[in-house]
Structure 1
Amino acid sequence: MNTFPLFFKLTNQPVLIVGGGEVAQRKADLLSRAGACITILAPQISQEIHQLLSDERHTLITAHYDKKHIDGKRIVIAGTDDEALNHQVHADCKALNIPVNVVDTPPLCDFIFPAIVDRNPIVIGISSNGKAPVLARLTRARLETLIPQGYGKLAKLAGDMRDEVKSKIPTLTGRRQFWEKAFEGKVSELMFAGRSVEAEQALKQQLEQTHQQLSSNSDVKQADPKSVGEVYIVGAGPGDPELLTFKALRLMQQADIVYYDALVSSEVLDLCRRDADKVFVGKKRSNHAVAQQGINQLMIDAASSGKRVVRLKGGDPFVFGRGGEEIQALRAAGIAYQVVPGITAAGAASCYTGIPLTHRDYAQSVRFVTGFLKSGEPNTGFAALTNPNETVIFYMGLHSLERLTKGLMDAGRSPQTPIAIISQASMPTQQVMTATLQDIVAKHEANPLPTPALLIVGEVAKLHDELAWYGEHIVNTDQQAHALNML
């Protein structure tokens, strides 16, 4: 972050705006809604500002700027078209340690006016640090369409009942789970529908039910762990955070603890609840940070203690993700769970490289194959992979590239069969290499690609050059940026 987001309490605080035109009017409008006592200073003040600031708590001074006007002010805004005057206001404020904003001049700003989504008391500020204010406003417009107007009323209701909830639900975890249920269930639905009285009644009813459940336990401070603990097995997709599902993101934001794999990108991990414990349990070839049985036990223990657990897995949990094994362990232990699908690496690699997995002219079926079996032995079932009209996707196959290509050719697949290696699919560092079965090994040895990577074998691989939007076999960040600029 180049700037740290803060929210100023400006109710009844003195604020000076130097300038009397349209720019000053826009800032005055925002600050008046925050409850500030505004002083406008300018030789000429527009009629619009006179109408906006007609309240007696505001002051309009028709005069030229003087340093004395900034004395005692909480913040100062310079919004004139006189560059020398703006610099003078900035220098005077810096000398007195008064935060100052010179409009449209980022180097002279101690703070920045964000684009604001106002659902009072929920307020969202969006800033580009002065680099692209139009983009910040477009982002605000998108958020405006996603956040119901009822959010403010819902937040006010929560504030009104906060003390009562705290007195009846003694634990922090219990209160958080209570509010999550309220904000994601019947209470919020009623509020968003404009039925605020019914929403309040529903919230009070939920509180009484929760209080009675807690009171029925022998230890009031500890609810039955298994009644509240749950595991969410979430597909994190191939790496691009924009490929997450809405449900995945919602559950990631609820987690008390996150167990994540080596294939989960840092960008995706950053979207988890900020104060959740994050534990790496990744497994790479011949290098397991935590064995699968140990991971199962970690999830069981955490859920049994009442925590909401997210098991974050690269790709999709049920496509070579061992999600089925983890569910078996959870069921045996009586732990509640949910499974959230994710975009598997093959789907991402296909779409991000212009290699369709099926195509009526080239491939009428697709097969997902692992390079290694459960025992750690290499997969040698090549006889079933010789159909020229079928696309074969190899997961975990890059380290066995020579064995796999030779096995396919020995089993009868043509040496001229196209093959593509997609490294770090969907990420800015994605790279693609295409060749044929007979020459891919030599080509890769001359220019090895990093893992994670998968192999796409079949006639569809030759469509990469035609259908990939960037038109290059190997892509780096600079090339992608150049291509975007050309669009």
Structure 2
Amino acid sequence: MSLFPLFLKLTGRSCVVIGAGQLAESKIESLRAADASVTVIAPRVNERISGMAEAGEISLQRRPYQTGDLDGAFLVVAATDDPAVNRAVFAEATAGGVLCNAVDDPPFCDFYFPSVVRRGDLQIAISTAGNSPALAQQLRKELNAQLPLDLGEWLANLGNLRREVVAAEPLNQSRRLILHELAQRQVCAYDQCPSRLLAREHARTNPLPAEKV
């Protein structure tokens, strides 16, 4: 089975989680980190998820799952300890065109939650297609140990610098080369950053043609 890797924009999208125990907790946190609108449905709720509801971070309905709970949802996570319930959720999701992840039940998943290394806007996602979540977690730990803790800040500064270059240089091979060169250098926020000076020098020596009047 081939998986298509992508990063979804979930801001404001309706995401439903069926279950509110340990299986559901990390999935809810991942969805909240993406600014999804999360509704949790479960008759029993653990302390952490209850706290999220009390803080207004999620919507919580303390009752069992029932057909129709996925109406209007973009995706659903089935995270109960009852395989029959999880598979009923998957069946409804499939019929309604809703993406579904049944936790720890790969045949009943449209997608998997990867192990993720995060540094600000930088995300490195690792998937084993459900074959070994433990291996994905181990690889995440290894990558996490190797990446600088300030990489997210560095990326933010690089993004600001990229916007400066894009504003000053038309889309051409020269711009592509300078952007790749900047990504190899240390970028910092202050005005005399070596990479920023390099970008300015490039703009000075490669001025845009004057507009015709």
Stretch moving more, 175-184 or 127-136 = 175-184
Scaled by the length of structure 1, what TM-score is found? 0.41
Distance 1:83 1:4 in 2: 26
Asked whether the 8 Å contact 1:29–1:52 carries over to 2, the reply is: no
Q: Deviations over 1:50-98 (max 9, x none)?
A: 1234443520100011122111111100011111111100001101010
Q: State the AA in 2 paired with 1:47.
A: E
Query: Where in structure 2 are the equivalents of 1:311-330 lying within 5 Å?
Result: none
What residue is the counterpart of 2:177 in the other structure?
Answer: 177
Q: State the AA in 2 paired with 1:162.
A: R
Which segments of 5 or more consecutive residues in structure 1 lack a partner in the other structure?
A: 188-195, 221-487
Distance 2:6 2:204 in 1: 39
Q: How many residues align?
A: 209
- Return the offset for 1:128: 0.2
Distance 2:82 2:192 in 1: 53
Distance 1:200 1:65 in 2: 58
Q: Deviations over 1:84-132 (max 9, x none)?
A: 1111000011010100000011110000100101123111110000001
What residue is the counterpart of 2:147 in the other structure?
Answer: 147
Q: Deviations over 1:247-292 (max 9, x none)?
A: xxxxxxxxxxxxxxxxxxxxxxxxxxxxxxxxxxxxxxxxxxxxxx
Matched, 1:206 2:211: no
- Return the offset for 1:200: 7.0
Q: State the AA in 1 paired with 2:206.
A: L
Asked whether the 8 Å contact 1:186–1:202 carries over to 2, the reply is: yes
RMSD: 2.0
What residue is the counterpart of 1:162 in the other structure?
Answer: 162
What residue is the counterpart of 1:403 in the other structure?
Answer: none
Asked whether the 8 Å contact 2:100–2:111 carries over to 1, the reply is: yes
**For 1:90, what is the secondary structure of its paired residue?**
helix
Query: Where in structure 2 are the equivalents of 1:184-223 lying within 5 Å?
Result: 184-187=184-187, 196-198=188-190, 201-215=193-207
- Return the offset for 1:199: 7.3
Which segments of 5 or more consecutive residues in structure 2 lack a partner in the other structure?
A: none
Larger relative contact order, structure 1 or 2 (CA cutoff 8 Å, min sep 6): 2
Distance 1:212 1:113 in 2: 46
Query: Where in structure 2 are the equivalents of 1:15-414 lying within 5 Å?
Result: 15-56=15-56, 58-187=58-187, 196-198=188-190, 201-215=193-207
Asked whether the 8 Å contact 2:158–2:183 carries over to 1, the reply is: no
- Return the offset for 1:37: 1.2
- Which structure has the larger Rg over C-alpha atoms? 1
Scaled by the length of structure 2, what TM-score is found? 0.89
Q: State the AA in 1 paired with 2:204.
A: Q
Query: Could you tell me the percent identity over the aligned residues?
Result: 31
Asked whether the 8 Å contact 1:157–1:200 carries over to 2, the reply is: no
Distance 2:172 2:166 in 1: 9
Q: State the AA in 2 paired with 1:160.
A: N
Distance 2:138 2:197 in 1: 40
Distance 1:156 1:146 in 2: 19
